[in-house]
Structure 1
Amino acid sequence: MAMWIQAQQLQGDALHQMQALYGQHFPIEVRHYLAQWIETQSWDSVELENPGEEAKAKRLLDSLVAELQKKAQVQGGEDGFLLKIKLGHYATQFKSTYDRCPLELVRCIRHILQSEKRLVQDATNASSGTEAQSMDSLSQRHQQINQAFEELRLATQETENELRKLQHSQEYFIIQYQENLRIQAQISSLASLPAAERTQREPALQSKRATMESWLTREASTLQKYRLDLSEQHQKTVALLRKQQTLILDEELIQWKRRQQLAGNGGPHEGGLDVLQSWCEKLADLIWQNRQQIRRCEHLTQQLPLPGPMEELLSKLNTDITDIISALVTSTFIIEKQPPQVLKTQTKFAATVRLLVGGKLNVHMNPPQVKAVIVSEQQAKALLKNESTHSESSGEILNNNCVMEYHQATGTLSAHFRNMSLKRIKRSDRRGAESVTEEKFTVLFESQFSVGGNELVFHVKTLSLPVVVIVHGSQDNNATATVLWDNAFAEPGRVPFIVPDRVLWPQLCEALDMKYKAEMHSTRGLSEENLVFLAQKAFSSTSNNPEDFRNMTISWAQFNRESLPGRNFTFWQWFEGVVELMRKHLKPHWNDGAILGFVNKHQAQDMLMSKPNGTFLLRFSDSEIGGITIAWVAENPNKSGERLVWNLLPYTTKDFSIRSLADRISDLNHLLFLYPDKPKNDVFAKYYTPPLSKAPVDGYVKPQIKQVVPEFTSPNPEPPIFMEQTTSPSVGHSSSFTIYPSMTEAIMDAEGEFDLEDTMDVARHVEELLRRPMANQWGNQQT
């Protein structure tokens, strides 16, 4: 069947070639409906040129005809009527065509299978790229699931037909049994008749009774065999249902949940839930049909008890099928939209839960209510081990009850929590060096409902992805680190919420790249050079070889518990600062390729010294969280003929909220070419702020804010009000601004580092400038 599944996915000319293999000699419908049987037969074992192999070929022909007849018999309903006739016709056709030359049938089928295999292999070799292969694998898996559903549908239809036959046979048996009782009553009544009359009538009645009892004995044995055969068919169907359910719930649904978890780190948005729901609904429908059939068998057995193991067999079947539907219902109560994984108290949040089989089981006829509570990691463990039957809470969630609603258009049954808020949280005792932002909670959603007229009652629960509760925005950075590590490295079926303490560096690189691309809304993620830079930072290494880091591991402590050497922040805090800066202000420049970013001071110097004066690049600050600096090559104004690489003090989010990066670069006339050789206006001009009108507005002249570097500023006959940014011929470590021309030298401490305590808050001064009249350099007052 696997070959036929792949053959059905052929396209274009390959598909036409495959279709041309079939015709009156071997109809394509036979290949489709007997795909599994055909592909499991030993066609290659027959020696076509040996007449002695004709008997083996004849057995294969007879088996093919029998399979067609069997498949035709199980077709029912309006849709199956024509197919039943067609398959029966093909069985007769094969018998008449190949009965005298069965080796030709084998030759025909071998040619078809070999041609299909060649076409599939050619199509596979022609396909290129991992994504195409992944999609092909996905389509194949879905095709297998759909094919299994078709087999289950046919098997269920077959047992339904057999059950009806059994019911009719049993009803006829009961009628005949009643007739036998009537004959016995007649024989008993002969005792009151005269001897002559009794002698005349009794032989005929006794003969009739003997015949009837003989028939009843044979029919009872036949009924018992029908029951056993039907029970075996149900056992096979239940096994297939269990297998199909395992595939959908333990593989497809688990994969969907994993994609949903990775989406929390910026992975592709989870899709395919509607497909999963359609599969789960088909499962629910088939399971329920088979369960009803088994219950009808139990009723027939109770109605006419016969010696044998039927009661035990049916009882076990009923238990098994009920367990299957219970597992289906409880597993398909899922969280469609997860609550935020960094959850701030006193802040509104939302979530959506969904029952994938709710519409099919008519749960919405009596809409259930869902309750949400927040529980700790230990409480979650107890719930999954069934050690806790009631839901203890570790906090108080407002608006935590919601009724499930059925949406007719989409056929979904879901509960939308739109206005929840965590009022308070109860924390547990922390372990070792664990901080509050490493403590994990989860939101538990639970409900109860019944199906089949209260025949089955289900208590369903589902846990959200781990959440970290914070009370202040300053905790967001570290909480996000906990969530990212958990989302990236959690394994399916884990004990809540265990994650490895140490992972391979390439694994973390994958998680960081996923996060970075999601925040940039770009396919341009972290290059191999970028990841080497990050490895150097994480491991305090000087190696430039990516292979040196392939087998290295990084611990959670190195990631976000221990500060980087010589710094007061962790690796993650530095990286997340870069992400925040880029997301808020520099996203288009990154996507344009204008920002190298992950370059250290020495690399920048080596890169720029080989370029013409005025060449510059943008790199992230090593010393400041969320900082970016401009490095450029120029002549040393104090020493003729000497070239230096200069570094501006790093810009931060605060700086770009006042004046954009593009405008700052435009202000600095000594910056000419973006590394390696692009004229800066070609890269940044589209982001420049249009010039302001010089005409007074309501009698006021609006001042301008511009940036200058004193060492690289030419005299201006009409100087506007400037912002000065200090420079360093090596590398700057923090921002220092002042109103030009009050000072021309950098404020530095004894170690040569810029002292943030002595710098001026540019945002505060700009606000003052824009709120009060300004005196110009000639002593005139603006009014």
Structure 2
Amino acid sequence: MAMWIQAQQLQGEALHQMQALYGQHFPIEVRHYLAQWIESQVWDSVELDNPAEEAKAKRLLDNLVAELQRKAQLQGGEDGFLLKIKLGHYASQLKSTYDRCPLELVRCIKHILHSEQRLVQEATNATSGSGSQAMDSLSQRHQQINQAFEELRLATQETENELRKLQHSQEYFIIQYQENLRIQAQLSSLSSLPPAERTQRETTLQSKRATVEAWLTREASTLQKYRLDLSEQHQKTLGLLRKQQTLILDEELIQWKRRQQLAGNGGPHEGGLDVLQSWCEKLADLIWQNRQQIRRCEHLTQQLPLPGPMEEQLSKLNSDITDIISALVTSTFIIEKQPPQVLKTQTKFAATVRLLVGGKLNVHMNPPQVKAVIVSEQQAKALLKNESTHSFVLPGSESSGEILNNNCVMEYHQASGTLSAHFRNMSLKRIKRSDRRGAESVTEEKFTVLFESQFSVGGNELVFHVKTLSLPVVVIVHGSQDNNATATVLWDNAFAEPGRVPFVVPDKVLWPQLCEALDMKYKAEMHSGRGLSEDNLVFLAQKAFTSSSINPEEYRNMTISWAQFNRESLPGRNFTFWQWFDGVVELMKKHLKPHWNDGAILGFVNKQQAQDMLMSKPNGTFLLRFSDSEIGGITIAWVAENPNKPGERLVWNLLPYTTKDFSIRSLADRISDLNHLLFLYPDRPKDEVFAKYYTPPLSKAVDGYVKPQIKQVVPEFTTPNPEPSGGTPTFMDQTASPSVSHPNNFGVYQSMNDTMLDADGDFDLEDTMDVARHVEELLRRPMANQWSSQQS
């Protein structure tokens, strides 16, 4: 199905070529609705030039038709009625077209799949050379798995045929054995006959008995050999099953879980679960078939005991295959949708668990109930340490908190063939914290949600106790803790190793590893492919390591510790590296995402770099950079003449804007207000970049009321534009740095004092005016009163 998903994303000529592959000979609707089934078959194993392969091709045709008919029967409702008829028609059409030449169907589908793969590869090569290599690798892995399934299917079919032969031979042996007993009984009854007749009959019966006993002796030896050969075949099949199960569970499923974990940091959404389920269901089906065969062998052995090691061998086979199916069932009880990793108490949250083999093993016939409890890191360690036991008694005999609505029954969805439990309204009522060590804070403490259940298969023949742990969660009680909790989660998701002891992560990682995690997070929040450039990452490295003198190449070999990331404050600041970075992400996500994606924001530039860049540009050139001294702040730096010293050029830095400011007036409108800003660095006219984001002019007065207008002004650089209506504009003042003297009255409002600036020309938070409240108070005053007060 992965190939079909990519094929649907083709565009232009490639899309037309893909569509041209289909027609009456093979409708595109069949490809769409049977995508997963079609891609899971081993079409390449059929030799088209070998007439002996026709039987294999015929099976594929029959299975294709059966899948179409099954899919048609699943359709319901008004919308599904026409689709049901259409799919049924396609099933009949394909059957009549290819019934006499099934190899042609295989040839057709192989051509379609190979052409689709070529088109997708060519499209991928156009954008990324490495992407096509990854897809080739994925395709090869899937082909390897599908070929192994075909090998297992043939091996299972072969042992099934051999088992039937053994059963027929044993049944005939028992008949002959009964015949031998009957002859013996006849011989015993000859004593009552006359001597002459008795001698004649005895000779005949003795001869017949000798013949039967000789046959029985030979046949017993043959049966023994049949049983041993069949046992060896089952041993080989079990070896193949283990190998295939290891590949699917220990590689493919683990990789899916890793992708799911990285998705928590903004990585690509984890896909491919339906393909994994189809593989796991095939495994379950083949394992169960082989287990039934072994049990039938045991039954035959009990019916007719023969000397030899068969009983021990069959007992060992039965034990081994039960272990295999047990491992499959317990490993495929997974969390499809993880609970939030930053979990706030008294807040509703959801999660979904799924059993990938539930439909195949008919678990839904007696739907199991799943329970969710929250456990600490220590309890999680103890649970995994005692994984072999069937006990779910938590260490300390209680969970680490109370989750409301924590029981849910698994439901079977026939259309998708999934067995899952959807927890929609869970809520963490309380949490019990452990004693913390050293500098560890509550936002560094990790918990996990344990999901557990119990169910039986095969008519209570096998009972399974299953459990699975969620990704680590950090429990908070207030939104102010979200920032630090997210840091803990990001570090864990990025650097956790498969099979770790819960929830061990390295204390130090290489700087490029952290760069990868930060870039992933940033791209996800911006919803675009424009992530962090090499220059951005060098800037972040200088901030994290508090040094600008290190050669950028040296950063590649440096390590950064958790303490440097989010425990120790940056020099001269009251916040950590992560807190600063997360503030930038939040600001960009809420207000500036389009401008970042347009390339209008340089952002990761310090004050000295901005000055060096701007001094070589014409007056009025500006750039946008993130504030060094404030969390979630962005400032405008521009080059202009010094009003106090004609002929001298300076770089000015506007007081940083924050989320609060942009909730009042957007960045584009603020830039539009400032007429002295002419070119976005390096030389783009500002209207060319920002005009599409300007707020349209206000409408005329309605019902006699004039709407007030908010604008910002930098007094030293203001040349007011006359309003179309002739009215007096209303300004919201912002102050520039370097400091200059301001007139007491400008426009309507007085400008802010320079004392609001810190040593770097940035905001001092403690002295900063609440701009939103200031504007709100101003807007409440009658305009006439304001004007009269200004005149006085």
TM range, smaller chain: 0.7 to 0.9
In 2 relative to 1, CA 732–47 (structure 1 residues): closer, same or farther, beyond 3 Å? Answer: farther
Q: Distance in 1 between matches of 2:24 and 2:459?
A: 52
In 2 relative to 1, CA 523–187 (structure 1 residues): closer, same or farther, beyond 3 Å? Answer: same
Deviates more, 1:580-589 or 1:383-392: 383-392
Once the two structures are superposed, what CA deviation does each residue of 1:310-357 show, in whole Å capped at 9, x if it has no partner? 000000000000000000000000000000000000000000000000
Q: Which has the larger radius of gyration?
A: 1
Once the two structures are superposed, what CA deviation does each residue of 1:199-224 show, in whole Å capped at 9, x if it has no partner? 12111111111111000000000000
Q: Note if 1:742 corresponds to 2:742.
A: no
How far apart are 1:520 and its partner, in Å? 0.3
What percent identity do the matched residue pairs reach?
Answer: 91
How far apart are 1:597 and its partner, in Å? 0.1
Q: Distance in 2 between matches of 1:36 and 1:736?
A: 73
Deviates more, 1:669-678 or 1:119-128: 119-128
State the SS of the aligned residue for 2:791. coil
Would the aligned equivalents of 2:739 and 2:754 in 1 still touch at CA under 8 Å?
Answer: no
In 2 relative to 1, CA 303–481 (structure 1 residues): closer, same or farther, beyond 3 Å? Answer: same
Deviates more, 1:645-654 or 1:766-775: 766-775
Q: Distance in 2 between matches of 1:738 and 1:430?
A: 57
Deviates more, 1:66-75 or 1:589-598: 66-75
How far apart are 1:71 and its partner, in Å? 32
In 2 relative to 1, CA 239–14 (structure 1 residues): closer, same or farther, beyond 3 Å? Answer: farther
Once the two structures are superposed, what CA deviation does each residue of 1:508-563 show, in whole Å capped at 9, x if it has no partner? 00000000000000100000000000000000111474311010000000000000
How far apart are 1:714 and its partner, in Å? 2.6
In 2 relative to 1, CA 736–328 (structure 1 residues): closer, same or farther, beyond 3 Å? Answer: farther
In 2 relative to 1, CA 734–178 (structure 1 residues): closer, same or farther, beyond 3 Å? Answer: farther
Would the aligned equivalents of 1:537 and 1:571 in 2 still touch at CA under 8 Å?
Answer: yes
How far apart are 1:721 and its partner, in Å? 2.3
Q: Distance in 2 between matches of 1:309 and 1:83?
A: 57
Would the aligned equivalents of 1:478 and 1:573 in 2 still touch at CA under 8 Å?
Answer: yes
- Equivalent positions of 1:67-82 (< 5 A) are none
State the SS of the aligned residue for 1:267. coil
How far apart are 1:75 and its partner, in Å? 33
Deviates more, 1:137-146 or 1:537-546: 537-546
In 2 relative to 1, CA 44–718 (structure 1 residues): closer, same or farther, beyond 3 Å? Answer: closer
Q: Distance in 2 between matches of 1:725 and 1:271?
A: 49
State the SS of the aligned residue for 2:622. strand
How far apart are 1:271 and its partner, in Å? 0.1
Q: Distance in 2 between matches of 1:703 and 1:336?
A: 52
Would the aligned equivalents of 1:631 and 1:648 in 2 still touch at CA under 8 Å?
Answer: yes
Once the two structures are superposed, what CA deviation does each residue of 1:126-166 show, in whole Å capped at 9, x if it has no partner? 99711100000000000000000000000000000000000
Deviates more, 1:521-530 or 1:742-751: 742-751
Q: Distance in 2 between matches of 1:359 and 1:40?
A: 18
Deviates more, 1:154-163 or 1:768-777: 768-777
How far apart are 1:6 and its partner, in Å? 19
Once the two structures are superposed, what CA deviation does each residue of 1:405-452 show, in whole Å capped at 9, x if it has no partner? 000100000000000000000000111111000000000000000000
Deviates more, 1:53-62 or 1:683-692: 53-62
Once the two structures are superposed, what CA deviation does each residue of 1:59-105 show, in whole Å capped at 9, x if it has no partner? 99999999999999999999999999999999999999999999999
Deviates more, 1:252-261 or 1:66-75: 66-75
Would the aligned equivalents of 1:738 and 1:760 in 2 still touch at CA under 8 Å?
Answer: no
How far apart are 1:190 and its partner, in Å? 1.1
Would the aligned equivalents of 2:265 and 2:521 in 1 still touch at CA under 8 Å?
Answer: yes
Would the aligned equivalents of 2:124 and 2:131 in 1 still touch at CA under 8 Å?
Answer: no
With structure 2 as the length reference, what TM-score do the two structures score? Answer: 0.82
Q: Distance in 1 between matches of 2:68 and 2:409?
A: 51
In 2 relative to 1, CA 238–66 (structure 1 residues): closer, same or farther, beyond 3 Å? Answer: farther
Would the aligned equivalents of 1:709 and 1:725 in 2 still touch at CA under 8 Å?
Answer: yes
Once the two structures are superposed, what CA deviation does each residue of 1:155-199 show, in whole Å capped at 9, x if it has no partner? 000000000000000000000000000000111111222222211
Q: Distance in 1 between matches of 2:786 and 2:370?
A: 70
How far apart are 1:769 and its partner, in Å? 2.9
Would the aligned equivalents of 1:734 and 1:756 in 2 still touch at CA under 8 Å?
Answer: no
Stretches of structure 2 lacking an aligned partner (at least 5 in a row): 391-396
In 2 relative to 1, CA 169–120 (structure 1 residues): closer, same or farther, beyond 3 Å? Answer: farther
How far apart are 1:739 and its partner, in Å? 7.1
Would the aligned equivalents of 1:381 and 1:496 in 2 still touch at CA under 8 Å?
Answer: yes
In 2 relative to 1, CA 616–19 (structure 1 residues): closer, same or farther, beyond 3 Å? Answer: closer
Would the aligned equivalents of 1:710 and 1:744 in 2 still touch at CA under 8 Å?
Answer: no
Once the two structures are superposed, what CA deviation does each residue of 1:232-289 show, in whole Å capped at 9, x if it has no partner? 0000001100100000000000000000000000000000000000000000000000
State the SS of the aligned residue for 2:785. coil
How far apart are 1:750 and its partner, in Å? 8.8
In 2 relative to 1, CA 764–700 (structure 1 residues): closer, same or farther, beyond 3 Å? Answer: same
How far apart are 1:35 and its partner, in Å? 25
Deviates more, 1:201-210 or 1:121-130: 121-130
Q: Distance in 2 between matches of 1:340 and 1:592?
A: 31
Deviates more, 1:744-753 or 1:535-544: 744-753
State the SS of the aligned residue for 1:779. helix
Stretches of structure 1 lacking an aligned partner (at least 5 in a row): none
Once the two structures are superposed, what CA deviation does each residue of 1:552-590 show, in whole Å capped at 9, x if it has no partner? 000000000000111110000000000000000000000
In 2 relative to 1, CA 250–689 (structure 1 residues): closer, same or farther, beyond 3 Å? Answer: same
Deviates more, 1:173-182 or 1:92-101: 92-101
Would the aligned equivalents of 1:645 and 1:730 in 2 still touch at CA under 8 Å?
Answer: no
State the SS of the aligned residue for 1:373. strand
Q: Distance in 2 between matches of 1:285 and 1:46?
A: 23
State the SS of the aligned residue for 1:432. coil
State the SS of the aligned residue for 1:110. helix
State the SS of the aligned residue for 2:604. coil
Deviates more, 1:276-285 or 1:96-105: 96-105
Would the aligned equivalents of 2:341 and 2:489 in 1 still touch at CA under 8 Å?
Answer: yes
In 2 relative to 1, CA 360–98 (structure 1 residues): closer, same or farther, beyond 3 Å? Answer: closer
In 2 relative to 1, CA 392–368 (structure 1 residues): closer, same or farther, beyond 3 Å? Answer: same
Q: Distance in 1 between matches of 2:88 and 2:216?
A: 34
In 2 relative to 1, CA 733–353 (structure 1 residues): closer, same or farther, beyond 3 Å? Answer: farther
RMSD in angstroms over aligned alpha carbons?
A: 9.1
State the SS of the aligned residue for 1:732. coil
How far apart are 1:392 and its partner, in Å? 3.5
In 2 relative to 1, CA 12–152 (structure 1 residues): closer, same or farther, beyond 3 Å? Answer: farther
Deviates more, 1:120-129 or 1:395-404: 120-129
Would the aligned equivalents of 2:42 and 2:150 in 1 still touch at CA under 8 Å?
Answer: no
Would the aligned equivalents of 2:329 and 2:357 in 1 still touch at CA under 8 Å?
Answer: yes
State the SS of the aligned residue for 1:642. strand
In 2 relative to 1, CA 303–495 (structure 1 residues): closer, same or farther, beyond 3 Å? Answer: same
Q: Distance in 2 between matches of 1:102 and 1:404?
A: 41
State the SS of the aligned residue for 2:456. strand
Would the aligned equivalents of 1:599 and 1:619 in 2 still touch at CA under 8 Å?
Answer: yes
- Equivalent positions of 1:614-633 (< 5 A) are 614-633=620-639
In 2 relative to 1, CA 749–564 (structure 1 residues): closer, same or farther, beyond 3 Å? Answer: closer
State the SS of the aligned residue for 1:9. coil
In 2 relative to 1, CA 429–39 (structure 1 residues): closer, same or farther, beyond 3 Å? Answer: closer
How far apart are 1:486 and its partner, in Å? 0.1
Would the aligned equivalents of 1:649 and 1:726 in 2 still touch at CA under 8 Å?
Answer: yes
How far apart are 1:10 and its partner, in Å? 18
Deviates more, 1:369-378 or 1:189-198: 189-198
Would the aligned equivalents of 1:648 and 1:731 in 2 still touch at CA under 8 Å?
Answer: no
In 2 relative to 1, CA 778–623 (structure 1 residues): closer, same or farther, beyond 3 Å? Answer: closer
In 2 relative to 1, CA 566–95 (structure 1 residues): closer, same or farther, beyond 3 Å? Answer: closer
Q: 1:308 corresponds to which residue? A: 308
In 2 relative to 1, CA 19–574 (structure 1 residues): closer, same or farther, beyond 3 Å? Answer: closer
State the SS of the aligned residue for 1:466. coil
Would the aligned equivalents of 1:624 and 1:733 in 2 still touch at CA under 8 Å?
Answer: no
Would the aligned equivalents of 1:733 and 1:754 in 2 still touch at CA under 8 Å?
Answer: no
In 2 relative to 1, CA 132–304 (structure 1 residues): closer, same or farther, beyond 3 Å? Answer: same
Q: Distance in 1 between matches of 2:153 and 2:88?
A: 20
Q: Distance in 2 between matches of 1:779 and 1:21?
A: 79
Would the aligned equivalents of 2:733 and 2:751 in 1 still touch at CA under 8 Å?
Answer: no
In 2 relative to 1, CA 38–271 (structure 1 residues): closer, same or farther, beyond 3 Å? Answer: closer
In 2 relative to 1, CA 702–136 (structure 1 residues): closer, same or farther, beyond 3 Å? Answer: same
Q: Distance in 2 between matches of 1:54 and 1:435?
A: 68
